[in-house]
């Protein structure tokens, strides 16, 4: 005869006429996968013992020993341990547990090793099935089953998905698979939660991943700095209103890189340049900044060059009229004026043609007197 007793005092037959199995059905129990708690953490919580049948009234150990054996089967809730937040890029040192490499090491879909640590929380749903029909070591069965499920889920996703945005979905998938698989084992337990505590690359390659993460951060930093410099340069070149007009003229068929607020995929064609040179209702140009300064300087130089050319042309027209009236006189005047201007800037040596006798010009160092040839003085 079998019966389930509620909480409270009951009058039962003594052993060996009747055996009583006692368990805390509503107790939430934990099974770790991929790690074991360190001794200092275990001291803060109740020690875990292997699950097995406990029978009151057995002849060995006495009442106290049998009660302790029952207490060892029913696990008391563990107080929470405040552990620091750990990221996958950390060194994973000073942890409150020891890693079990044979359990935590798994292979992803892209054939990259990863360490995954999880915790299964369950409670007893059927005491008869848990005590008699199920396994005498439900924690080991549950740990092996959870490890198998985690390996299957990890093999269907890449490392990026496990570490980032799809981690929550994969965690829910592993929980559903674990519940379905445990239901076929008839252990008499109910899976409450399967939590992924830590997912990170193997500790031996974590420094390399950290370097990659630092390089990606540096890359994003350089991109942001370049975009900020480009925005400042463009804003200083065209002004605020023209800058907004260029942003509106950007091509919408191309995505904005890195979710940047500055769009540089516009093309400065003749039509867009004409719109930038338009005047507003107040008569002010849309374009400002250094570009407007350069355009203004160019217009000023153009006007100055044009006025100078006009003055030169007018002077030439007047000279041409005078030349037409007196061509010979005007030609001589222009010739001697030009010669005077040209020769006034050059050194000249003038030789008098009336000088009698042979003249020698020596360009260079003076020659000693002993080397000079004998010359006859002129008459």
Residues 187-242 have pLDDT tens digits of 889 999 999 988 888 877 878 878 888 999 999 999 889 888 888 888 888 888 88
Q: What is the pLDDT of residues 249-264, one digit of tens each?
A: 765 555 555 545 566 6
Residue 292 has pLDDT above 50, yes or no: yes
Cβ-based burial of 214 (10 A; exposed 0-12, middle 13-18, buried ≥19):
exposed
Residue 367 has pLDDT above 60, yes or no: no
- Give the start-to-end residue ranges of the domains of the chain: 29-204, 208-276, 290-340
Topology of the domain comprising 29-204: Tetrahydropterin Synthase; Chain A (3.30.479)
**Residue 118: pLDDT band with limits 50, 70, 90:** very high
Residue 376 has pLDDT above 80, yes or no: no
Report the percent of the chain where pLDDT is more than 90. 23
Measured at the CA of 77, the angle between CA 74 and CA 78, to 5 degrees, comes to 125
Residue 2 has pLDDT above 50, yes or no: yes
| Sequence-distant contacts of 79-85: CB under 8 A, at least 24 apart | 79/44, 79/45, 81/41, 81/44, 81/45
Q: What is the pLDDT of residues 323-360, one digit of tens each?
A: 888 888 888 888 888 888 888 877 777 677 776 666 66
Distance between CA 15 and CA 320 in Å, rounded? 144
Q: What is the pLDDT of residues 79-106, one digit of tens each?
A: 444 545 555 555 555 556 788 888 889 9
More confident residue, 54 or 189: 189
8 A C-beta contact, residue 15 and residue 57 = yes
Whole-structure pTM value:
0.49
Residue in 119, 93, 96 with CA at minimum distance from that of residue 43 = 96
Residue 64 has pLDDT above 80, yes or no: no
Report the percent of the chain where pLDDT is more than 70. 72
8 A C-beta contact, residue 23 and residue 74 = yes
| Sequence-distant contacts of 149-156: CB under 8 A, at least 24 apart | 149/174, 149/177, 149/178, 149/181, 150/33, 150/106, 150/116, 150/118, 150/174, 151/106, 151/107, 152/177, 153/177, 154/106, 154/107, 154/108, 154/109, 154/114, 154/116, 155/106, 155/107, 155/108, 155/109, 156/109
């Amino acid at each position: 005869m079998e019966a389930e007793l509620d909480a409270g005092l009951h009058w039962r037959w003594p052993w060996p006429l009747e055996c009583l199995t006692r368990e805390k059905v509503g107790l939430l129990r934990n099974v770790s996968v991929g790690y074991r708690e360190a001794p200092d953490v275990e001291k803060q919580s109740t020690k875990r013992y292997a699950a097995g049948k406990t029978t009151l009234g057995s002849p060995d150990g006495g009442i106290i020993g049998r009660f302790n054996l029952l207490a060892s089967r029913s696990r008391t809730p563990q107080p929470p341990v405040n552990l620091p937040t750990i990221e996958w890029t950390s060194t994973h040192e000073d942890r409150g547990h020891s890693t079990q490499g044979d359990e935590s090491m798994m292979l992803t879909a892209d054939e990259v090793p990863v360490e995954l640590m999880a915790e299964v929380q369950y409670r007893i749903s059927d005491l008869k099935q848990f005590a008699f029909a199920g396994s005498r070591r439900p924690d080991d069965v549950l740990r092996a089953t959870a490890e198998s499920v985690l390996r299957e889920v990890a093999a269907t996703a890449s490392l990026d998905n496990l570490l980032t945005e799809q981690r929550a979905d994969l965690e829910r998938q592993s929980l559903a698979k674990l519940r379905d698989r445990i239901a076929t084992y008839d252990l008499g337990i109910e899976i409450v939660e399967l939590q992924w505590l830590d997912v990170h690359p193997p500790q031996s390659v974590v420094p390399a991943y950290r370097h990659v993460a630092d390089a990606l951060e540096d890359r994003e930093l350089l991109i942001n700095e370049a975009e900020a410099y480009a925005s400042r340069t463009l804003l200083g070149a065209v002004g605020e209103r023209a800058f907004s007009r260029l942003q509106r003229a950007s091509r919408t068929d191309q995505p904005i890189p890195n979710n940047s607020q500055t769009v540089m995929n516009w093309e400065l064609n003749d039509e867009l340049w004409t719109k930038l040179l338009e005047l507003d209702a107040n008569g002010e140009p849309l374009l400002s900044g250094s570009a407007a300064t350069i355009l203004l300087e160019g217009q000023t130089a153009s006007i100055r060059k044009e006025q100078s050319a006009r003055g030169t042309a007018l002077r030439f027209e007047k000279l041409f009229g005078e030349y037409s009236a007196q061509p010979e006189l005007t030609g001589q005047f222009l010739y001697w004026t030009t010669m005077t201007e040209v020769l006034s800037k050059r050194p000249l040596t003038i030789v008098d043609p009336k000088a009698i006798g042979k003249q020698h010009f020596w360009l260079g160092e003076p020659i000693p007197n002993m080397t000079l040839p004998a010359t006859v003085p002129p008459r």
